[in-house]
Amino acid sequence: MKPNPVPKQLKPFTKGDPRINRKGRPKSFDDLRVTADMIASEMVPGPDGKPISRGELLLRNWIKSRNPILQRAFMEYWVGKVPDKLETTEVLENRTPIILHYAHRRPDLMEKARRDAANAFKALPPSDPDNDNSRQLNGPDTHDG
């Protein structure tokens, strides 16, 4: 015989069980909203001692909070919710595409880059240790002092 996976204190629903919510979730929360509005409208002493509403006090606490979720909630109530989805098709329709070519995938560009690099080193003057305009950097031991 298999052990029952349901603990003893839990009982499955039976036909006509009064615990079953036949109406489901309420369609509106009008009573709850009215109560929340009443509580948020109550006047309480503010930071400077002048009376302000609880709602205003709550928002003031949110903006001063170190919790970024509360700060974001304040900003969303103030300026509106940040869109969750970015529509990129309209933004990118009339843009000029940028095509990036990697030299190792384009032999013609690779050869041109090698020639340009070789020509750049040929154009450098030879190193002269007596000249201040030398290509060689002075280290800490060769410092003139």
**Chain segment 107-117, per-residue pLDDT in tens:** 777 778 788 87
Alpha-carbon span 57 to 44, nearest angstrom: 8
State the pTM of this model.
0.40
CA of residue 87 relative to chain centroid, distance: 17
Q: What letters, b where the CB count within 10 A reaches 16 and e where it falls short, cover 14-27? A: eeeeeeeeeeeeee
Confidence label for 137 from pLDDT (cuts 50, 70 and 90) = low
Which residues, in sequence order, are bridge partners of residue 43?
53
What pLDDT does 130 receive? Answer: 64
| Amino acid at site 48 | D
Tens of pLDDT along 43-100? 999 989 999 999 999 999 999 999 999 999 999 988 888 777 776 666 667 777 788 8
Q: Name the pLDDT band for 8 (thresholds 50, 70, 90).
A: low
Convert the chain into a string of H (helix), E (strand) and C (coil): CCCCCCCCCCCCCCCCCCCCCCCCCCCCCHHHHHHHHHHHHCEEECCCCCEEEHHHHHHHHHHHCCCHHHHHHHHHHHHCCCCCCCCCHHHHCCCCCCCCCCHHHCHHHHHHHHHHHHHHHHCCCCCCCCCCCCCCCCCCCCCCC
Strands 51-53 and 43-45: antiparallel
pLDDT surpassing 60 at residue 1: no
